Amino acid sequence: MDFSIKACDWSKGAANGFLNGKADVVVIGVFEAQTLSGAAREMDLATKGLVTRVIKAGDMAGRAGTTLFLPEITGIGASRVLLVGLGKQDVFNQKAYGEAVRAAWRAILGTKIAQVAFTLAQLPILERTGDWAVRTAILALRELTYKFTQMKSKPENGTRALKKVVFSIDPADEKAAKVAVKQGAALANGMDLTRDLGNLPPNICTPTYLGQTAKKLGRDWKLKVEVLGQKQIEALDMGSFLAVAKGSIEPPQFIVMQYQGAGSGKSAPAPVVLVGKGITFDSGGISIKPGEAMDEMKYDMCGAGSVFGTLRAVAEMGLKINVVGIVPTCENMPAGNAVKPGDIITSMSGTTIEVLNTDAEGRLILCDALTYAERFKPSAVVDIATLTGACIIALGHHNTGLFSKDDALAGELLDASREAVDPAWRMPLDDEYQDQLKSNFADVANIGGRPAGSVTAACFLSRFAQNYPWAHLDIAGTAWKSGAAKGATGRPVPLLAQFLIDRAGQ
Ligand code: BES
Ligand code: MN
Ligand code: ZN
């Protein structure tokens, strides 16, 4: 799909020939008040009052979510116009814009239209800019066209007709909108990778497969990639990670990927480290899970997937920043040699851990990765994990849980989350909760009981993240959808990429 920008000042009449450009359809917004302005007014003039007549006839009342194709148009470059209802202008916010854009794409994707001239990104949206509108429209289209077909035996029929979209944009927004096109496409490509990895079945997307994916990502995007195997992980004394891995016949992998957009060498700026939970299947281990929806535990590597997707996006954007991605990956399986409740294991940091529930395995692999992260002297570390069912109980499927003691870092992540429309909600991390992790026999227990389960999981991790600014994202509720629309969402790649864009000052 090819996206481009054309600056148009509608107050100067037919605006740069936008309406005469080659396209199959021009997309025009209509508010409920039905007073035409900007692109809609010029379209009406160019078609000798057709838009006005259609509105007068009652065929397009401007109601949110409605669309109407006008065929066989003359007087402009395209043969069709798509009118899109926008609702009330005084409450036209990001949500209303998103709905209008999705309605437009849905209508277009149901046709053979190949080229689109799109004017909605130029509409006045409350508290949002033109470049934001372009990026959002690109992401909405790419979201609607994503399909996971790799595992179907026959290719699904029909190639997609839509090839090219030109956005009209105010001249003042042109430069930022061009950046938005590049970043929007890069972000969508990163999210597609994250979604593909999540959706792949666990017999294919194994730790070894993730290791190979990392190496390919390294080749394609010039990342420095290391994939450590069992022996090397043992040499690092990652006793906690290895304890989780040992019940599976799939060998664990410890993946380190470095993107050096701000240069390498001694004087290079400190990197941001992203750590992603890479459990390619979470059966619960000896504390085995009930059968219902257990297939969805293939998604327990979505934190890792988001690290891959974010690195891909950041590399394609060419951000001037250094980012390290760390992915500890293994399966959590029951077996004669699996870790058991009651076992005490020693983490890379030396902290001893009493395993009271083998299903609380995410924190056990992440704690060693957090210790490993110290060697990069990071400016910040963010871990991303499908860590707790309790986070879903607390926040549902809308917000990612954000945990950090560092107000500045938490603020940056929340700002990025808002800009990217990838919602996150800050959760508490008070020291008082740490008491729930007391063990009679080891330094710490791996579970803290039912109350505030997502908080005590974060508290566990915090013990291993004392030496740098750190934040934790619990994506248990947001990384994938269940039910008829079952599939990975690609979240929180938008949040993470925006955080890095902001840090890079780009
Ligand atoms: N991967 C799960 C968390 C999860 C469960 C995410 C369901 C999304 C949907 C994690 O490893 C886990 O099993 N956590 C346990 C922790 C408990 C044993 C303290 C949980 O949430 O039940
Ligand atoms: Mn588990
Ligand atoms: Zn898990």
Rounded to whole angstroms, the Cα distance separating 101 from 95 reads 10
Question: Distance, CA 473 to ligand 2 centroid (Å)?
Answer: 16
Rounded to whole angstroms, the Cα distance separating 369 from 327 reads 8
Shared-domain flag, residues 48 and 102:
yes
Q: What is the pLDDT of residue 303?
A: 99
Domain boundary among 170, 198, 227: 170
Task: Assess whether pLDDT exceeds 80 at residue 15.
Answer: no
Structural domains in the chain (count): 2
Atom number, ligand 1, closest to the C-alpha of residue 297: 1
Task: Assess whether pLDDT exceeds 90 at residue 13.
Answer: no
- CATH for 130: 3.40.220.10
Task: Assess whether pLDDT exceeds 80 at residue 14.
Answer: no
Is 179 a member of any domain?
no
The residue whose CA has the least distance to atom 7 of ligand 1 is 389
Across the range 426-436, mean pLDDT stands at: 98
325 compared with 158, residue with greater pLDDT = 325
Give tens-digit pLDDT for 245-285. Answer: 999 999 999 999 999 999 998 999 999 999 999 999 999 99
Across the range 40-49, mean pLDDT stands at: 93
Q: How far is CA 181 from CA 129, 136, 318, in A?
A: 14, 10, 14
What's the pTM? Answer: 0.97
Residues making up the binding site for Mn(2+)? 277, 282, 300, 359, 361
Question: Distance, CA 88 to ligand 1 centroid (Å)?
Answer: 43
Atom number, ligand 1, closest to the C-alpha of residue 296: 9
Task: Assess whether pLDDT exceeds 80 at residue 398.
Answer: yes
Out of 280, 298, 332, 359, mutate this one to test ligand 1's pocket (max ligand atoms within 8 Å of CB): namely: 359
Shared-domain flag, residues 80 and 132:
yes
Task: Assess whether pLDDT exceeds 90 at residue 306.
Answer: yes
Q: What is the pLDDT of residue 17?
A: 84
Which positions are annotated as active-site residues? Answer: 289, 363
Is 181 a member of any domain?
no
Is 76 a member of any domain?
yes
11 compared with 54, residue with greater pLDDT = 54
Q: Which residues line ligand 1 (CB under 6 A)?
A: 282, 300, 357, 359-362, 386-390, 447, 453, 476
Is 175 a member of any domain?
no
Atom number, ligand 1, closest to the C-alpha of residue 279: 1
Is 141 a member of any domain?
yes
Shared-domain flag, residues 7 and 95:
yes
Question: Distance, CA 449 to ligand 3 centroid (Å)?
Answer: 16
Is 341 a member of any domain?
yes
Q: What is the pLDDT of residue 369?
A: 99
DSSP 205-273: S-HHHHHHHHHHHHHHHT-EEEEE-HHHHHHTT-HHHHHHHTTSSSPPEEEEEEEETT--STTSPPPEE
Q: What is the pLDDT of residue 159?
A: 80
Is 85 a member of any domain?
yes
Task: Assess whether pLDDT exceeds 80 at residue 55.
Answer: yes
Task: Assess whether pLDDT exceeds 80 at residue 157.
Answer: no
Rounded to whole angstroms, the Cα distance separating 195 from 493 reads 10
Q: pLDDT above 70 covers what percent of the chain?
A: 99
Residues making up the binding site? 277, 282, 300, 359, 361
Shared-domain flag, residues 220 and 79:
no
Rounded to whole angstroms, the Cα distance separating 447 from 67 reads 52
Shared-domain flag, residues 237 and 334:
yes
Band of pLDDT at residue 12, cut at 50, 70 and 90:
confident
In terms of Cα–Cα distance, which of 217, 205, 232, 197 is closest to 330? 205
Across the range 306-325, mean pLDDT stands at: 98
- Reduce the secondary structure of 280-319 to three states and give it as a string: EEECCCCCCCCCCCHHHHHHHHHHHHHHHHHHHHHHHHCC
Shared-domain flag, residues 166 and 192:
no
Q: What is the pLDDT of residue 158?
A: 73
Q: What is the pLDDT of residue 296?
A: 98
Question: Distance, CA 58 to ligand 3 centroid (Å)?
Answer: 54
Question: Distance, CA 343 to ligand 2 centroid (Å)?
Answer: 16
Rounded to whole angstroms, the Cα distance separating 499 from 409 reads 10
- CATH for 489: 3.40.630.10
Domain boundary among 144, 170, 196: 170
The residue whose CA has the least distance to atom 5 of ligand 1 is 389
Out of 388, 455, 478, mutate this one to test ligand 1's pocket (max ligand atoms within 8 Å of CB): namely: 388
Q: How far is CA 304 from the centre of its chain?
A: 12
Domain that holds residue 161: 2-170
The residue whose CA has the least distance to atom 9 of ligand 1 is 389
Shared-domain flag, residues 199 and 111:
no
Task: Assess whether pLDDT exceeds 80 at residue 419.
Answer: yes
Task: Assess whether pLDDT exceeds 80 at residue 371.
Answer: yes
The residue whose CA has the least distance to atom 17 of ligand 1 is 360
Shared-domain flag, residues 93 and 211:
no
The residue whose CA has the least distance to atom 3 of ligand 1 is 388
Domain boundary among 170, 204, 224: 170
Residue ranges with CB less than 5 Å from ion ligand 3: 279, 282, 300, 362
Shared-domain flag, residues 321 and 226:
yes
Atom number, ligand 1, closest to the C-alpha of residue 456: 19
Rounded to whole angstroms, the Cα distance separating 11 from 14 reads 8
Question: Distance, CA 290 to ligand 1 centroid (Å)?
Answer: 12
Shared-domain flag, residues 406 and 377:
yes
Shared-domain flag, residues 489 and 426:
yes
Atom number, ligand 1, closest to the C-alpha of residue 386: 6
State the average pLDDT for the chain. 97
Give tens-digit pLDDT for 185-239. Answer: 999 999 999 999 999 999 999 999 999 999 999 999 999 999 999 999 999 999 9
Q: Answer yes or no: are the C-beta atoms of 211 and 308 closer than 8 Å.
A: no
Shared-domain flag, residues 213 and 104:
no
Is 183 a member of any domain?
no
Q: Answer yes or no: are the C-beta atoms of 85 and 61 closer than 8 Å.
A: yes
